[in-house]
Amino acid sequence: MHSTIRVGEMSVTFIKTRHETDGAFDLFELTIPPFARIPLPHIHRKYDETIFGVDGTMTWTLLDKPTQVHRGVTLFIPRGTPHSYANGTHKTARVLCLQTPGVMGPEYYLEVAALFRGSHHPDLAGLSEIMGRYGVVPITQKENFSSTQPEG
C-alpha cells in the first residue's frame, strides 16, 4: 500500500495506482469521518467507479437517488453520472473505490490535499480547476445534473 493522503477530513490510501496497472485501474481506500461530505457533487468524464462498502455507512447520491453503502454493499457509478457522498453517522466509514480505467492516481488527491492545508474549506475555484484537469466536472446547479456527457 501507499502512503495515506489527507484531504481535509477524509483520507485516501492507494492500494494500486494507474502507474502500477498500466492505466487499467486505480484502487484506493477512502475513509470518511462522522458527518463529513464532499464539497461538490460531480461527474467523471473518463472513468467508471465501483464502490465497495467496508465499514460504517455512507450515503452516495446518484442522480438525486440516495443509496446507503455499508459492509458488503457494492455501488457502480457509470462515467457521466452525477454523484456525491456523505457520512451522516456517528461512526467513521470506509469504502474501497475502483476507478476504471485509471486516470487520477494519487496525483489528483495530492493536489486537492494541498488546497486544504490550513483550511477546512478550500477555494472552490481552485478545486474546480484541479478537478477539470482530471476529467472530474463539478456540478454547481441542479439543472446541470443531467446535461454533462461522459468522454469515450
Q: What is the end-to-end Cα distance of the chain in Å, rounded?
A: 30
What is the mean predicted confidence (pLDDT) over 57-68?
94
Task: Copy the grid coordinates of residue 149.
Answer: 456527457
49 membership: H or E segment, kind and range: strand 48-55
pLDDT in tens, 105-132: 999 999 999 988 766 667 778 888 898 8
pLDDT in tens, 19-30: 999 999 999 999
Pairing of strands 10-16, 4-7: antiparallel
Of the two residues 142 and 71, the one the predictor is more confident about is 71
Average pLDDT, the chain: 89
> So what's the pLDDT on residue 89?
96
Nearest C-alpha neighbor of 29 from the set 45, 42, 17: 17
pTM higher than 0.75, yes or no?
A: yes
